[in-house]
Amino acid sequence: MNPGGATTIVSSAHALDTAVENLLDASLTPLLDEEFIAVMREVETSMRKLEAVKHRFVTETCTRSLAARAGSASPIKFLEQTLRLSHADAVSRVNAAKQLSPQPALGGDLEPELAYVAEAQRAGDISVDHVRRITQVLKRIPCAADPGQKDLAQDVLTTYARTGSPDKLLDLGEVILANIDPDGTLTQDKDRERMRGLTLGRKRADGMSPLIGEITEPLREILEPLLAKFARPGMCNPADPHSPKVADRTLDRQKLKAASERDNRSPAQRNHDALLAVLRFQLDRPKLGSHRGLPVEAIITMRVEDLERGAGIATTATGGTLTIPQALELAAGTRPLLVVLNKAGLPLYLGRGRDRLATPAQRLALIASDKGCTRPGCSAPASLAAAHHVTGWAEGGPTDIDNLTLACDGCHAMIHDGPGGWKTIVMGEDTQFPGRTGWIAPPHIDPTGTPQVNHLHHTGELMAGALNEIRARERSHRERRRAWLDARKTTPTRE
């Protein structure tokens, strides 16, 4: 790129920032309604065009191998770190760039995979939601379909999206798919395998979690008979202590009939309770082996004072929370590994200097204290983390509990001495979090090299930090107000 071109790009970015600042500060009141609507549409069009610019940035990031040069595991990780993106947003941007941005090649840039969609987005005619729904439809077109039909489907969907609502695209897609494969004969096993998946969403504040996905015929063949038996009215009802259970060797039909008459659950609720009962029964079996050195069982941590009063919150190794009654009920049903912390919240000291691998008891102590991966910003729960030596084993670090911490596989791989490598230390007694694991980020993330701890698994710390900031702002505001009042008292008033 020539210097003039570089200067143009930099000045354009500055001009964009200046324009946005002007829009943030300018009063909208003087605009007539028609002028306001026109400005709003123009800004929306510009924002849609910027999505195409973001695709170019992602493609350029991959072309320059910035992730490898910075020591990041992948372009996705590099974008997460450099732009402070969520993992889902970074994945979405990389996938979108592959489909909607010209790809560099030896003979020149190749046309985007979804050329019609990319053209409409570059013109500012369609939004991110339009693109998302179009790609959802195109993903379901069978691989055996004629390429011309795929291009036609993309063209029809994009043409509609230029003037229509994203909400109608999926309905239009169903019509298109029905025309492409009316009797389902084109859909093959590789299409079904490509579309399969189950996603367990984040737990909400009310304790519920969304579960969405599409399942293949083999999973349905297994799931349907299970639900047919254990989700029938009266079976596996958690609200009915006399309801027949999965563990019952023989089914008492009179007992089932009486339980069904008391059962007021919906079919969806019965399906949920049946799946929970079957999974609990399987977790109670010794056939599932171990995971990261521990049996495949529920691992529950609670404080002794909460146990004594029968109230409070218990945590699990997968990052979940339970009320104390729920935890005790689960403990009674599946023989989980239960860790009870003392009133200081400290695990037992466990030393094991001669062996490299942590013992199950040490992992239990780490689960109780760390609760998950200790790298700042990582939300991986303890069940997805391994025991990591803060001072490396090869460097003489012992396998003692005060030299061990939890790190998920992805974050564990980031600890090295090469470019982009992270480092771990034990925070000193003179710090705010003594004994905790401090992570030192590489220079492209934090040039100061300041050790940071992970607060995501310790929500109380986040709340305390937020309260401290609020109090500091209020204190500063009061001091400024007092100084202003004092200044007014000392300023002579005009006669």
Q: Above 90 in pLDDT, residue 42?
A: yes
Q: What is the mean pLDDT of residues 38-67?
A: 94
Q: Which residues, in sequence order, are bridge partners of residue 389?
A: 404
436's tokens: 């905790």
Taken in order 66, 72, 76, 81, the sign of the CA dihedral is: negative
Q: What is the mean pLDDT of residues 417-424?
A: 85
Burial of 334 (0-12, 13-18, 19+ CB in 10 A): middle
Q: Above 80 in pLDDT, residue 164?
A: yes
**How far is 235 from 375, CA to CA, in rounded Å?**
44
Mean pLDDT is lowest, of 73-77, 78-82, 118-122, 190-194, for 190-194
> How confident is the model at residue 470, as a pLDDT?
66
Q: What CA–CA distances, in Å, run from 33 to 29, 44, 207, 350? A: 9, 16, 44, 71
**pLDDT classification of 32: cutoffs 50, 70, 90:** very high
Helix or strand holding residue 438 (H, E): strand 437-440
Q: What is the mean pLDDT of residues 91-114?
A: 90
Q: Above 50 in pLDDT, residue 347?
A: no
Q: Above 70 in pLDDT, residue 277?
A: yes
Burial of 229 (0-12, 13-18, 19+ CB in 10 A): middle
Q: Note whether 349 and 340 are within 8 A (CB).
A: no
**How far is 495 from 492, CA to CA, in rounded Å?**
9
**How far is 470 from 462, CA to CA, in rounded Å?**
12
Task: Kindly write down the DSSP assignment for every residue of 338-399, as one continuous string.
Answer: EEEE-TT--PPP---TT-SSPPHHHHHHHHHHH-B--STT---BGGGEEEEESS-GGGT---
> How confident is the model at residue 469, as a pLDDT?
65
Angle between helices 87-100 and 33-63 (to 10 degrees): 90
**How far is 254 from 251, CA to CA, in rounded Å?**
9
Cβ contacts of 385 within 8 Å, gap of 6 or more:
292, 370, 372, 373, 406, 407, 408
Q: Note whether 306 and 312 are within 8 A (CB).
A: yes
353-405 pLDDT, tens per residue? 344 555 666 777 787 778 889 998 888 888 788 888 887 777 777 767 678 88
> How confident is the model at residue 317, as a pLDDT?
61
Taken in order 375, 381, 385, 389, the sign of the CA dihedral is: positive
**How far is 463 from 467, CA to CA, in rounded Å?**
6
Cβ contacts of 59 within 8 Å, gap of 6 or more:
97, 101, 102, 103, 104
Q: Is pLDDT larger for residue 48 or for residue 351?
A: 48
435-490 pLDDT, tens per residue? 888 999 888 788 888 999 888 777 666 566 556 666 677 777 778 777 777 776 66
Q: Note whether 265 and 237 are within 8 A (CB).
A: yes
**pLDDT classification of 73: cutoffs 50, 70, 90:** confident
Mean pLDDT is lowest, of 40-54, 132-146, 321-335, 471-485, for 321-335
Mean pLDDT, rounded, of the chain: 81
> How confident is the model at residue 27, as a pLDDT?
92
A 10 A CB-CB count for 241 gives 7
**How far is 277 from 230, CA to CA, in rounded Å?**
8
Q: In terms of pTM, does the model score above 0.75?
A: no
